[in-house]
């Protein structure tokens, strides 16, 4: 029996992690703590919401008292911490919210776990605080040096307010291990894609725009490179590392799957066209080059050999299959998409792009 808080479980990656744990471990109690910001959506968890080992708690991770009380009430022995503000463009417009949630919220989770676990006779025995982070903390790699990859020892060099806030939260997590002996783990993952991603991120935004024949705003020249991993492979890695990872370690998680934005966009366009019965490539003319993102990191690429060597994890899905499944999922779940993109959000989206 374990009692695990998963924060941010109503978001994109969190919902996949919650689903995996609830289904795979019926003997565990899974408590999804989520504030339900614009990015949190309980519709992402419809299929498991009635399972007896699942509980949803609407709470802000910055609310130390609420988190501490919940840990006591549920005898929590594990935390998988995903809740965060996650969109780089929003962090450029509103960095304070990112510092509050990503830095202060993580600190509040750590302090609540520390005080609760230290109050128990067994203290940190059998406990685990697992923090989910990003490859963006390492900064950017060079385009003309494909041999360069982010490893677990790459220096932190965040460029955006988002990545600076995630870097700061990573440091706090490690500090709680080094100072108090808390059994922590940090993982840094590359770009995820798959079902249930909020349609402000490149792939779901573009799938929806192509469907509605709206322009596709490509930042700069579309030459930036990202390393794409199917979200269920990330969830599998989180499961493995939560159970088998070594305390105080960092693991990089990535797909060995680098794509230039413009190339992945063309693949998405052709896949949507084909699945909608349009002439393949007929929507390529929707590509619209717009002003670049400020401080836009040129290239991310993860070296995940440590995770493979030590724990035997590898991505299971070929990209061609993953992107086909992803596009098909969004086209088949138009109602999910419409519920998000109608009303208030539409106004927000238009204001985001009004001055580009």
Measure the CA–CA gap between 302 and 313, rounded to whole angstroms. Answer: 14
Measure the CA–CA gap between 108 and 32, rounded to whole angstroms. Answer: 16
Residues 61-90 binding ligand DAU (CB under 6 A) are 86-88
Concerning whether 162 is annotated as a catalytic residue, the answer is: yes
Range in contact with ligand DAU (rule: CB under 6 A) among 25-33, 106-114, 200-208, 315-323: 200-208
**What does 204 bind: ligand NAD, ligand DAU, none (CB cut-off 5 to 8 Å by kind)?**
none
Asked whether the beta carbons of 281 and 269 are under 8 A apart, the reply is yes
Asked whether the beta carbons of 41 and 340 are under 8 A apart, the reply is yes
Measure the CA–CA gap between 240 and 345, rounded to whole angstroms. Answer: 36
Nearest approach in angstroms of CB 282 to ligand DAU is: 21
Tell me how crowded residue 347 is: count the other CB atoms within 10 A of its CB.
9
Q: Which residue is nearest to ligand NAD (CB)?
A: 11
**Phi, psi (deg, nearest 5) at residue 51:** -70, 140
Does 204 interact with ligand NAD (rule: CB under 6 A)? no
Concerning whether 27 is annotated as a catalytic residue, the answer is: no
**What does 101 bind: ligand DAU, ligand NAD, none (CB cut-off 5 to 8 Å by kind)?**
ligand NAD
Residue-level length of the chain: 356
Range in contact with ligand NAD (rule: CB under 6 A) among 32-40, 296-304, 322-330, 348-356: 32-40
Which DSSP string do the residues of 19-57 spell out, in sequence order? HHHHHH-TTSEEEEEE---TT--GGGGGGGTT-TTEEEE
Does 169 interact with ligand DAU (rule: CB under 6 A)? no
Does 184 interact with ligand DAU (rule: CB under 6 A)? no
Measure the CA–CA gap between 145 and 275, rounded to whole angstroms. Answer: 36
Residues 156-175 binding ligand NAD (CB under 6 A) are 166
Asked whether the beta carbons of 12 and 82 are under 8 A apart, the reply is no
Which of 34, 60, 77, 135 does the annotation list as catalytic? 135
60 or 227: CB nearest ligand DAU: 227
Q: Which listed residue (31, 39, 67, 70) binds ligand NAD by CB under 6 A?
A: 39
Does 271 interact with ligand NAD (rule: CB under 6 A)? no
Place of tokens 């291990």: 177
Concerning whether 156 is annotated as a catalytic residue, the answer is: no
Residues 295-324 binding ligand DAU (CB under 6 A) are 300
Two tokens at 176? 């709680």
Residues 83-122 binding ligand NAD (CB under 6 A) are 83-86, 101, 105
Phi-psi region of 74 (alpha: psi -120 to 50; beta: other; left: phi over 0): alpha
What are the residue numbers of the active site? 135-136, 162
Residues that bind ligand NAD (CB under 6 A): 7-8, 10-14, 34-37, 39-40, 60-62, 82-86, 101, 105, 132, 134, 166, 189, 191-192, 198
């Amino acid at each position: 029996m374990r009692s695990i808080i998963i924060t941010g479980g109503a978001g994109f990656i969190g919902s996949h992690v919650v689903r995996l744990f609830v289904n795979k471990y019926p003997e565990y109690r899974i408590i999804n703590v989520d504030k339900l910001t614009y990015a949190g959506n309980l519709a992402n968890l419809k299929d498991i919401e009635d399972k007896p080992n699942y509980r949803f708690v609407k709470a802000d991770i910055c609310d130390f008292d609420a988190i501490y009380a919940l840990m006591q009430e549920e005898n929590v022995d594990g935390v998988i911490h995903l809740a965060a503000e996650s969109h780089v463009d929003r962090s450029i417009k509103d960095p304070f919210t990112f510092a509050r949630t990503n830095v202060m919220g993580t600190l509040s989770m750590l302090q609540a776990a520390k005080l609760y676990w230290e109050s128990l006779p067994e203290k940190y025995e059998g406990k685990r605080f697992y923090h989910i982070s990003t490859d963006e903390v390492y900064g950017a790699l060079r385009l003309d040096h494909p041999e360069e990859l982010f490893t677990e020892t790459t220096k932190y060099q965040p460029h955006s307010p988002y990545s600076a806030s995630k870097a700061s939260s990573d440091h706090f997590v490690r500090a709680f291990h080094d100072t108090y002996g808390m059994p922590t783990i940090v993982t840094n993952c590359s770009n995820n894609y798959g079902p249930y991603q909020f349609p402000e991120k490149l792939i779901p935004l573009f799938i929806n725009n192509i469907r509605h024949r709206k322009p596709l705003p490509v930042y700069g020249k579309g030459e930036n490179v990202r390393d794409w991993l199917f979200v269920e492979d990330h969830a599998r890695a989180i499961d493995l590392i939560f159970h088998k990872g070594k305390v105080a370690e960092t693991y990089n998680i990535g797909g060995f799957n680098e794509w230039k934005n413009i190339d992945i966009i063309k693949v998405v366009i052709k896949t949507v066209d084909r699945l909608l019965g349009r002439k393949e490539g007929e929507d390529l003319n929707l590509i619209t080059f717009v002003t670049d993102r400020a401080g836009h990191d040129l290239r991310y690429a993860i070296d995940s050999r440590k995770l493979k060597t030590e724990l035997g994890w590898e991505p299971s899905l070929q990209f061609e299959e993953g992107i086909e499944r992803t596009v098909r999922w969004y086209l088949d779940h138009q109602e999910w998409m419409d519920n998000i993109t109608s009303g208030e959000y539409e106004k927000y989206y238009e204001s985001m792009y009004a001055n580009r």
